[in-house]
Structure 1
């Protein structure tokens, strides 16, 4: 998916992308469980349908958290200098793999110890 040369060339920007994606993923995770809490509250207030609707939307929101967090990271970092090539690299990987697989591969490659030159 990514060559070592690509990782080395874009390392700093890729690390920023990963950190930003994790930031948005955590926010989505928190919002999802707030939604679940609201659904439980509505359920106990005898508003069963409203609770079911909120729980369903929370679930659907959570199901999209990888692609949504990647999209939000793209919006946040798109104007920064040098990120156009980094996003092209990620877009190429996303053409053949799901966002979860791309991020897992990227994080694994970034965390791998560097070979001495």
Structure 2
């Protein structure tokens, strides 16, 4: 997916991308479970349909959190110098793999000891 040369050349920017993706993933995860809490609250307030709708939207939001977190990271880091080439490299990898697989492979390669 990525060559060692690509990893070495873009290491600092890739580390920022992974950290930003994890930050947004955690935020989406928290928001999802807050939504589930609101759904349970609505359910016990004798508004089962409202609770069901909130729970459904929370679930759908959670199902998209990987691609959404990558998209939000892209928006945050878009204007920074040098990131255009890094995002092009990631986009090429995401054409053949899912975002979660690309980020996992990238994180694994970044944490591996340098030879």
For normalisation by structure 2, the TM-score amounts to: 0.99
Cα separation, 2, equivalents of 1:86 and 1:70: 13
**Are 2:10 and 1:5 aligned?**
no
The residue number in structure 2 matching 1:111 is 111
Could you say what secondary structure the match of 2:7 adopts?
helix
Aligned-residue Cα RMSD (Å) equals: 0.4
Unpaired runs of 5+ in structure 2?
none
Question: How far off is 1:64 after superposition?
Answer: 0.3
The residue number in structure 1 matching 2:85 is 85
Cα separation, 2, equivalents of 1:37 and 1:90: 35
Q: Count residues with an aligned counterpart.
A: 115
The residue number in structure 2 matching 1:16 is 16
Question: How far off is 1:33 after superposition?
Answer: 0.3
The residue number in structure 2 matching 1:25 is 25
Cα separation, 1, equivalents of 2:46 and 2:4: 57
Could you say what secondary structure the match of 1:2 adopts?
coil
The residue number in structure 1 matching 2:62 is 62
Could you say what secondary structure the match of 1:14 adopts?
helix
Q: After superposition, what is the alpha-carbon deviation per residue over 1:1-40, rounded to whole angstroms, capped at 9, x for unaligned?
A: 0111000000000000000001100100000000000000
Cα separation, 2, equivalents of 1:23 and 1:100: 14
Question: How far off is 1:65 after superposition?
Answer: 0.4
The residue number in structure 1 matching 2:41 is 41
Cα separation, 1, equivalents of 2:10 and 2:45: 52
